[in-house]
């Protein structure tokens, strides 16, 4: 079975959510948002393939056609849903993301998985740039890392994502006229050829050229460049940006890297447009009436159209339901879907002194799989218990019992207690 066959159902699942009316279906008074937790085994197969695709792309992308430019999403997945809903399936529509798609918002994991699934399925239509939050220095202390550790109980998935982030391109030229970047330019950015000298992968945000592209900001108070207190970070003025644009034959700079009340802001005599694509800047802007989100549609005829969306009230992770849908990976060519829908009870806000019910519809004929094969390949139970010395024995015992139930074609409906010490979940 091909990897595409395994990954496409993940897209289909998200596509069903994207097709819903975001503004009325999901709101603070009607919490209907439910996610399936993608198994770690599937993520760790997907990310190396996406890294390979990214590694084959240049540091400066050159894209032709009608392209929807999306600025920072910051884990605000409802904004991402309605953007794709409006402009169409990435199978036919090109999208460019300007980085900072994780952290701050409460659904960074789901946003990152969705972007990488789309990149894998449609590599010629989905393009993702790197922002400062796609570096370990930022995301390891932010919401993204916290979500991953809570959902998967280890740092393996986090490390896999950070490795994939290291391959992300840094900027893009669309239709030969629009220069898209997370931050801007600096005095060491002489031309586009200079940008292509940046070698990837790289893991730390301390290089001169990459920092200038990712962190620099426009300033109306200067004409050239002015160094910031932060290392390798500059402000740039009208003359600096105009000289760069004239040299490369560009007509507009499109950037992200800041929250904007109205979703869009023009600067430096309209040579620079800053956009923000997450409503309320993930709850950080109090005036919800002004905190809109904006994307740009860059057309092949070298014109552009801003599309601004009304703000969506900030949707917290605690208001959604996360279910774990397990996929057992067997020997090559054989995959079974165990279709287990299990509430995740590892949120810090969730009490662990309750009894929960697990129901498991059985889909596997006994003659097609034996206990040993199922046991070896089924996703392992994960325990975050740090004290028990016989946890491994209990783990093996539960998996063997589970395999026996599955291969016996019996529906399993077991009740078990999760106490405050063990904090155990099925992954």
The predicted-structure confidence for 242-293, as pLDDT tens digits, reads as follows 999 999 999 999 999 777 878 899 999 999 999 999 987 655 555 455 578 9
Q: Which residues contact 181 (CB under 8 A, 6 or more apart)?
A: 98, 129, 170, 171, 172, 213, 214, 253, 254, 255
Q: Are residues 244 and 352 in the same domain?
A: no
Residue 371: which domain range?
A: 326-426
Residue 315 lies in a domain: no
CATH number where 108 lies? 3.60.21.10
Q: Are residues 262 and 331 in the same domain?
A: no
Q: Are residues 283 and 347 in the same domain?
A: no
Burial 64-78 (b: 16+ CB within 10 A, else e): eeebbbbbbbbbbbb
Q: Are residues 259 and 360 in the same domain?
A: no
The predicted model scores a pTM of 0.76
Cα atoms found within 13 Å of the Cα of residue 359, Cβ hemisphere only: 1
| Higher pLDDT, residue 178 or 316 | 178
Q: What are the backbone angles phi and psi of residue 419, rounded to the nearest 5°? A: -95, 175
Q: Are residues 295 and 419 in the same domain?
A: no
Q: pLDDT, tens digit, for every residue of 316-355?
A: 887 787 776 433 332 233 333 433 333 332 333 323 223 3
Q: pLDDT, tens digit, for every residue of 402-417?
A: 554 544 433 333 333 3
Question: Which SS3 state, helix, strand or coil, does residue 371 take?
Answer: helix
Q: pLDDT, tens digit, for every residue of 40-68?
A: 999 999 999 999 999 999 999 999 999 99
Q: Are residues 129 and 262 in the same domain?
A: yes
Q: Are residues 209 and 111 in the same domain?
A: yes
Q: What is the pLDDT confidence band of residue 27, given thresholds at 50, 70 and 90?
A: low
Q: Are residues 158 and 297 in the same domain?
A: yes
| Higher pLDDT, residue 369 or 223 | 223
Q: What is the mean pLDDT of residues 181-193?
A: 95
Helices 77-87, 3-18: axis angle to 10 degrees equals: 90
Residue 318 lies in a domain: no
Domain boundary among 309, 334, 365: 309
Asked, as a colleague might, if the bond just before 201 is cis with ω within 30 of 0, I would say yes
Q: What is the mean pLDDT of residues 185-213?
A: 92
Q: pLDDT, tens digit, for every residue of 104-160?
A: 888 999 999 999 999 999 999 999 999 999 999 888 888 899 999 999 988 899 999
Report the mean per-residue pLDDT for the chain.
Answer: 78
Residue 284 lies in a domain: yes
Residue 380 near residue 427, CB atoms below 8 Å: yes
pLDDT at 10: 94
**Domains of the chain: total:** 2
The Cα–Cα gap between 89 and 81 comes to: 11
């Amino acid at each position: 079975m091909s990897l595409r066959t395994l990954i496409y159902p993940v897209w289909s699942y998200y596509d069903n959510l994207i097709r819903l009316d975001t503004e009325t279906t999901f709101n603070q008074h009607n919490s209907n948002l439910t996610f399936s937790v993608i198994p770690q085994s599937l993520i760790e197969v997907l990310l190396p393939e996406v890294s390979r695709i990214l590694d084959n792309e240049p540091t400066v992308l050159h894209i032709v056609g009608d392209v929807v430019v999306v600025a920072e999403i910051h884990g605000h997945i409802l904004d991402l849903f309605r953007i794709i809903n409006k402009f169409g399936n990435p199978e036919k529509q090109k999208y460019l993301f300007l980085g900072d798609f994780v952290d701050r918002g409460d659904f960074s994991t789901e946003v990152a998985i969705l972007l990488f699934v789309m990149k894998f399925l449609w590599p010629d239509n989905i393009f993702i740039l790197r922002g400062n939050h796609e570096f370990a220095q930022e995301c390891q202390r932010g919401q993204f890392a916290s979500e991953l550790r809570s959902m998967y109980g280890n740092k393996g998935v986090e490390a896999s994502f950070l490795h994939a982030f290291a391959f992300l391109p840094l900027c893009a030229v669309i239709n030969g006229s629009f220069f898209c970047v997370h931050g801007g330019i600096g005095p060491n950015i002489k031309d586009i050829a200079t940008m292509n000298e940046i070698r990837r992968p790289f893991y730390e945000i301390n290089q001169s050229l990459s920092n200038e592209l990712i962190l620099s900001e426009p300033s109306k108070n200067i004409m050239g460049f002015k160094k910031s207190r932060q290392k390798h970070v500059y402000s740039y003025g009208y003359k600096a940006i105009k000289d760069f644009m004239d040299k490369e034959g560009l007509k507009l700079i499109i950037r992200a890297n800041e929250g904007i009340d109205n979703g869009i802001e023009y600067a430096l005599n309209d040579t620079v447009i800053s956009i923000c694509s997450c409503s309320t800047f993930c709850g950080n802007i109090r005036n919800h009436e002004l905190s809109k989100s904006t994307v740009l549609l860059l057309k092949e005829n070298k014109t552009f159209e801003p599309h601004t969306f009304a703000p969506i009230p900030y949707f917290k992770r605690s208001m959604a339901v996360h279910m774990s849908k397990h996929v057992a990976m067997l020997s090559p060519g054989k995959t079974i879907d165990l279709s287990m829908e299990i509430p995740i009870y590892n949120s810090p806000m969730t009490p662990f002194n309750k009894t929960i019910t697990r129901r498991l519809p059985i889909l596997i004929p006994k003659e097609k799989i034996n206990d040993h094969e199922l046991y070896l390949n089924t996703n392992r139970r994960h325990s975050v218990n740090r004290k028990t010395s016989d946890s491994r024995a209990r783990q093996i015992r539960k998996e063997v019992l589970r395999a026996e139930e599955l291969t016996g074609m019996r529906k399993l409906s077991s009740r078990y207690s999760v106490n405050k010490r063990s904090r155990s979940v099925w992954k």
